Structures are given as C-alpha cells and as structure tokens.
Structure 1
Amino acid sequence: MLAVLSVEIRKLNRSLAAVLAVAAPSLIAIFTFFNLLRGKTPMPWDMWMVSAIGIWSFFMLPMSVTALTALVAHMEHGPKSWDHLRALPLPRWRFYAAKAVMVLAVVAVMSAATLLMTWGAVMLATAIKPNLTPTGPLEVGLYATTMGKVFLAAILMAAIQLWIALRFASFVPALVVGIGGTFFSVVATSARAGVFFPWQMPVNMLASGDEAWRVTTALGLGCGLGLVVLALAIAHLARREVL
C-alpha cells in the first residue's frame, strides 16, 4: 500500500493538484487582506478567522473537492491507464484507496493552509495599517478544531465526488454533481434540512446556540456515513471490469 501511495504522490506532484492546493486558500487570504485594508476600525480576530472558515466551508471547499477529484481521476482516465494498473499483480482496491487517501490528504492540507494564509494576510495588512490590528485573543486551538470538524464533515461529499469522478471516464458528470451540489447549498443555506445535504454539512460546523444540534448531526453523518460511502466506492470500483 505504501508503494501505491508513493506513486500517487509522484503523480500529484506532476499534476495541477499543487496549484489548486495553493490557489484556493490564497483566494480567501487575498480577500481577507483587501477587506481588512478597507476597514476603518479594528475588528476581533474572530471576525477574520471565522469568516475565512465560513468562506472555505461554504463555497471554496465544495468547489475545490469537485476540481480535485476530477483532476485525480483524469490522471488515469486521460491516458487510459486503468487497464495497465488493473493488470498489475496487486489488489485492485489499493489503487482506489490510495486515490481516496490522497484526495483527503490534499483537502486537509488546503484546510490548514486556509487558516495559515488568512493569519498571514491579516498580519501583512496590519503591517501596512497598524491601527487596524485585530482585537481580542487569537484562539488558534478553537479555529483549528472548527476547521478539523469542517474537514471531517466534508468526507461524505468528497466520497461522492470521488466515486463519480472515478466511475465515469468523462469529467462532466463529476463537475455537474459538484457544481449542482454547491449551487443548491448556496441557495438553500438557511434550509433546516440542509444539515442532511452533503455539500452543506461542512458549513454546519459553524452553527451555535439553538442550532448547535446541527454540528453533531452534520459531523456524524459527514464523517461516519462518509467513511462508509468511501469504502463502498472502493469496493464497487475494484470489482468493475470496464471503466
């Protein structure tokens, strides 16, 4: 399995995955940077860090997962290399499991990068305008915990996207599902049933007060059911003879 993972890492290094992993968090950081410079009075750290987590979980994460899974799948679909891989003397499930691990690893790195780059953007902006230095404590542990929950809640969405991307040789079905899921997530943000919608589960990690139940519900479904769907996807794809 380690050998298969090593090969997947080398493939990702030769792809646009690294560009995507940097670009998506950078957009949030750039937005934060210029938004802070437009301010007139200093705002709490929570304003900037929680807002970044919200933007990431609400829009950038679903779109990034859509692009990433399509990219990972196309690395095999494009050159039609599945026949070669499946002819190797290795259990087929390892190839799909390795891709799933890589997708989740890249999403985890992007999630961490969002927090780090946002912090860097705030520090850079306040170096230009010291009077806008954020107030209140910088609760790194709280932000990291929240982002960790966002990542776990996104596993179901990532599993669905990866399953579709690997199942179909064309990248169109995966893009349609990803864009459609993000669209309905945006237009139905306040829907009570949104907690059961995979593309809305990550943003539900920011719920509080009377809506705190949404956190545990979305986290349990997103992570627990996500791992089940991921296992089913790997088993299904490994049994297929033709892709």
Structure 2
Amino acid sequence: MYKALLKAEFLKIKRKWIWGLAFLGPFGVIALEALNFGLRYDYLTDLYKDDLWKGLIGEANMLSVFALMLGATLVASLISSLEHQSTSWKHLLSLPLSKTKIFMGKFSLAFILLTTSCILLAIGIVILGISLGFGTDISIALLFKTCFYPFLAALPVVALQLWLSVVLNNQALPLAIGIVGSIFGGALPRWTIWSWPSLSNQWDKPIINVFLGIVVGLILLGFSTVHFTKKDVNS
C-alpha cells in the first residue's frame, strides 16, 4: 500500500514543474561554476594548481549548500501545495490510509527529489571538470562528501519545512523561514539546524554535522508525523 501511495505522489507531480526544480538547482550551480572558471580560468587554475578537482569541488560547494537549502524549502512547499490548492486534504484523509503513511509519503517524495538533485550535481561536477581539462583523477570520496554530506546534515530542515508546509495553508511563513535560513544559515550559531549543512563545527569534523542531521532529522520527522496524525485538516 505504501508503494501505491508513493506512486500516487509521483503521479501528482507528473505535469508540475517540481521535477524541473530538482534539475534546476544542480544545473544552476554547474552553470555558474562554468561561468566562474570560464571568466577566471587562468587565475583559478593557478590558485588550485596543486589539486584542480579539489578546487572545483570546493568552489561548487559554496553555491550548492545554498541551492540545497532553498530547494528543500521550495520542494516542501510545492508538494504540500498540491493538496492545499485543490482543497483535497479531506478527500485524501478519507481514504483507507493511515495519516502516518500519508505524511511519510510526502517526506519520501521530498527525499527522493532532493537526492536526485544531489546525484545530478555530482554528475555535473564531473562533466564540468573533464570539460575544463582537469583529467579524470577525481576523488570520489571528496565528491560524495561535497554532494551528499550537506543533504544529510540538512534533513532536520527538510522535516521542519515539510511539517510547516503541510500544516499551514498559507505558505508565506514556511517560505519565509526557509529563505531566511538559506541565506543566513552559514552565519547563524552552529547549534542551529540551518548552519549544519555548511559542515562547519568546532571540531572540524563534517561527519558530526551529518550524524546530528540524521538523528535530529529523524526526531523532527517523528514529532511532525505525530502532530499531523492528531491534527484536524480543514482543507
């Protein structure tokens, strides 16, 4: 039944531009980096001459974290708006499905869309680096950490944004919180969930942020699921 529910969620976005958003984020990052290296090729290749791939991945990381945070905000809002705009929550909740499965279906859809974006980002970085003449001696471990560690550290943000977007008909507040968090996340105190995707901490160990992201993300997901199951939906 859960598989059928997830399939239904994908059918809802079949003719929507949500999939386009999943592609737009990584495409935008790669396009900007292509422009960056195109305009400053000599300077950047001299700056990163000891490890060109590491330099490219590091430059892309600066943009990708912002794109990820903003993407999580927009994806959560858009997939929730599918029900809000059509006022179909009551119909959906009248089906012989538990509220837990319905909410988890929404989260699973957001998770898959954002994972797709991370995969496309990794592929795009490889294609760009090869196109720039950096060869094929790329650190797969570094590429994985750059593309997926911030996403795992951002799971609390994904859970929070989805919860707010689902329980609130007006999407202004969820969008405002997500956009502000995306812009100022790196400047916020390190204990805030919006700062974790930057992978910066006092121990200089990015894996700590990843661990916190997974644990706190699951806690927030559990809390938001319980709240959703007890909430009366009026739309």
TM superposition score normalised by structure 2: 0.89
Give the Cα–Cα distance (whole angstroms) in 2 for the partners of residues 180 and 49 of structure 1.
25
Tell me by how many angstroms 1:136 deviates: 8.6
Tell me by how many angstroms 1:7 deviates: 0.3
Work out the percentage of aligned pairs sharing the same amino acid: 22
For 1:37-186, what aligned pairs fall within 5 Å after superposition? 37-38=38-39, 39-40=41-42, 42=45, 43=48, 44-57=52-65, 59-124=66-131, 126=132, 133-134=133-134, 137-186=137-186
User: Residue 212 of structure 1 is aligned with which of 189, 204, 219?
Assistant: 204
Point out 4+ residue stretches in structure 1 off by more than 4 angstroms.
none
Match of 2:19 in 1: 18
Secondary structure at the aligned position of 2:42 is classed as coil
Tell me by how many angstroms 1:86 deviates: 0.6
In structure 2, runs of 5+ residues without a counterpart are: none
In 1, are the aligned partners of 2:163 and 2:224 still within 8 Å (CA)?
yes
Secondary structure at the aligned position of 1:241 is classed as coil
Tell me by how many angstroms 1:238 deviates: 1.7
In structure 1, runs of 5+ residues without a counterpart are: 127-132
In 2, are the aligned partners of 1:36 and 1:122 still within 8 Å (CA)?
no
Count of residues in Structure 1 that have an aligned counterpart in Structure 2: 226
Give the counterpart letter for 1:181 in structure 2: G
Give the counterpart letter for 1:54 in structure 2: M
Tell me by how many angstroms 1:135 deviates: 6.8
Kindly indicate whether residue 235 of structure 2 is the aligned counterpart of residue 235 of structure 1: no
Which moves more between the two structures, 144-153 or 10-19? 144-153
Structure 1 residues 102 and 136: CA distance shift in structure 2, 3 A: closer
Secondary structure at the aligned position of 2:220 is classed as helix
Match of 1:4 in 2: 5
